[in-house]
Amino acid sequence: MAFTGTYELQSHENFEAFMIAMGAPKLIAKKAKDAKIKTKIVQDGDHFVITVNIGPKVQRNEFNLGEETELVTIRGEKIKTTMNMEDGKLVSHFNGFTHVIELSGDLLINVMTNNDIVYKRISKRVS
């Protein structure tokens, strides 16, 4: 179960610009930038449950690789997409948006791209 674990934010790049591009008000984007982010992933074969705590907000997504599913975005919107495994990375594409999740040792790297704006979040495994 390569992805299974709990990860805490170590650093992130371009968060405010990304959130504003996604439609979040500037004040909310600025405030959320400093929130503690904790990610818990449970992988059982091709089935994943990913829970992200951003301060007091909890976002939970559950999916099977290769099957269309409804996920909740970082802004709380519901979208339909398919998560796939490509070169050991979780990848989804929808409406000009790409989300890639990969492991590099004990680091969980999330890269979210909205057209030409890229947000990168690096978290370290804590359990």
Contact in structure between 66 and 45 (CB atoms under 8 Å): no
Contact in structure between 126 and 4 (CB atoms under 8 Å): no
Query: In angstroms, rounded to a whole number, what is the distance separating the alpha carbons of residues 91 and 37?
Result: 20
Going by pLDDT thresholds of 50, 70 and 90, the confidence category of residue 1 is low
Long-range contacts made by residues 23-26, C-beta under 8 angstroms, separation at least 24? Answer: 23/75, 24/75
| pLDDT number for residue 38 | 96
For the chain, how far is it from start to end, CA to CA, in angstroms? 13
DSSP state of 15: H
Instruction: For residue 30, give the 3-state DSSP assignment.
Output: helix
Average pLDDT along the chain: 91
Q: Identify any residues that bridge with 37 across adjacent strands, giving them in sequence order.
A: 54
Instruction: For residue 27, give the 3-state DSSP assignment.
Output: helix
Summarize pLDDT for 46-78 with one digit per residue, the tens.
999 999 998 888 999 999 999 999 998 877 789
pTM of the model: 0.90
| pLDDT number for residue 64 | 98
Query: Among 114, 111, 84, 115, which Cα is nearest to 99's?
Result: 111
Mean pLDDT of 80-101: 94
Alpha helices by DSSP H, listed for 1-123, are 15-21, 26-33
Q: What percent of the chain clears pLDDT 90, i.e. is strictly above it?
A: 68
